[in-house]
């Protein structure tokens, strides 16, 4: 991740944890990039932050995932754990709603880690560029890196021309 920031857009880690290559995520929807390209982070923090500036364009009723559309039209999906939809929102508290404008680092979801663990939710949490056909030069943080929510860059891209 060495490209000049002035030419690239960056995403900050929406939660703390260890980075995971998308191809290693034990869910084919994510591993095969059917919903977007990016990376995953093994969630170990109790607050999910906005990875970038933009508008929350989608917030699932089950609070397990949300999307932010950036001002340049790129849609970023943040998914909390794998199969967390089965909890129907239990253990997840929405701090923002669809339509809210947010800045990178804004708290979006409060996570009760004990509830997720008690229900055997896999903590691997994808962070994706949904419309990745509109970007070029997508780079992600290497797998196995510990990242801190709201401060470490985990993904960068340039707009496709």
Q: Which CATH superfamily is domain 5-159 in?
A: Glucose Permease (Domain IIA) (2.70.70.10)
Of the listed 79, 84, 91, 157, which one is catalytic? 79
Q: Residue 7's pLDDT band (boundaries 50, 70, 90)?
A: low
Which tens digits make up the pLDDT trace of 57-87? Answer: 999 999 999 999 999 999 999 999 999 999 9
Ordered DSSP codes for the chain: --S-GGG-EEEE-SS-EEEEEGGGSSSHHHHTTSS-EEEEEEE-SSEEE-SSSEEEEEE-TTSSEEEEE-TTS-EEEEE-SBSGGGGTTTTEEESS-TT-EE-TT-EEEEE-HHHHHHTT-B-EEEEEETTGGGEEEEEEPPTT-EE-TTTSEEEEEEE--
How confident is the model at residue 161, as a pLDDT? 80
Q: Return d(Cα 39, Cα 52) in angstroms, integer.
A: 15
Cβ proximity of 46 and 110 under 8 Å: yes
Which tens digits make up the pLDDT trace of 106-143? Answer: 999 999 999 999 999 999 999 999 999 999 989 999 99
How confident is the model at residue 44, as a pLDDT? 97
Q: Is 79 a catalytic residue?
A: yes
Return the domain boundaries, the chain. Answer: 5-159
């Amino acid at each position: 991740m060495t490209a000049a920031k002035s030419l690239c857009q960056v995403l900050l880690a929406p939660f703390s944890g260890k980075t995971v290559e998308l191809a290693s995520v034990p869910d084919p929807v994510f591993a095969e990039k059917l919903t977007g390209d990016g990376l995953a982070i093994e969630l170990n923090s109790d607050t999910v932050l906005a990875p970038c500036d933009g508008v929350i364009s989608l917030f699932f009723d089950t609070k397990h995932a949300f999307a932010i559309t950036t001002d340049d039209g790129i849609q970023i999906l943040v998914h909390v754990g794998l199969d967390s939809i089965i909890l129907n929102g239990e253990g997840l508290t929405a701090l923002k709603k669809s339509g809210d404008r947010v800045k990178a680092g804004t708290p979006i979801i409060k996570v009760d880690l004990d509830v997720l663990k008690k229900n055997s939710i896999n903590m691997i949490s994808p962070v994706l560029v949904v419309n990745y056909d509109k970007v070029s030069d997508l780079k992600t943080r290497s797998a196995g890196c510990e990242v801190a929510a709201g401060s470490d860059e985990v993904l960068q891209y340039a707009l496709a021309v």
